[in-house]
Amino acid sequence: MVDFEHFVELTESAVAEEDADRLIRVLKGRNQITTELMKSGQNFDEKAVAKCIALETEILKRLEKERKQLLKNMEDLSRNRAATKVYTSKFPFPPTPAFFDKKG
């Protein structure tokens, strides 16, 4: 039998997790327990269901925050990449290898 309290503990630790990588790891671990809870056919009281809904709402908010951060990072990287492609040096010196004699 699957322990509902363990599911709640994992969910609460996922909500409290600061690091995005660890958040995803906790949610993946919780996923197996969720599947087992659904298969068990266990009945839950209204209080437990309300608690789960509140925790799931918090997780969704956190995942949305992470998604927005990823999109922002991708946009910044895209801008930097575009700027790097357009950049050409604007100084009067020839390229560095012209200053050295290869014959030694």
Name the pTM for this structure. Answer: 0.66
Q: What percent of the chain has pLDDT over 90?
A: 21
Secondary structure in 3-state letters for the chain: CCCHHHHHHHHHHHHHCCCHHHHHHHHHHHHHHHHHHHHHCCCCCHHHHHHHHHHHHHHHHHHHHHHHHHHHHHHHHHHHHHHHHHCCCCCCCCCHHHHCCCCC
**More confident: 46 or 3:** 46
Tell me: pLDDT of 104 over 60. no
Tell me: pLDDT of 55 over 60. yes
Owner of token pair 């906790």: 26
54: closest CA among 10, 5, 7, 11?
A: 11
The reply to whether 46 falls in a domain is: yes
**More confident: 4 or 2:** 4
The reply to whether 15 falls in a domain is: yes
21-38 pLDDT, tens digit per residue, is: 898 888 888 888 888 888
The reply to whether 13 falls in a domain is: yes
Span 40-67, average pLDDT: 89
- Per the structure, the complete domain to which residue 51 belongs is given by 4-79
Neighbouring C-beta atoms of residue 98, cutoff 10 Å: 7
pLDDT for 36: 85
Domains of the chain: total: 1
The reply to whether 97 falls in a domain is: no
The reply to whether 103 falls in a domain is: no
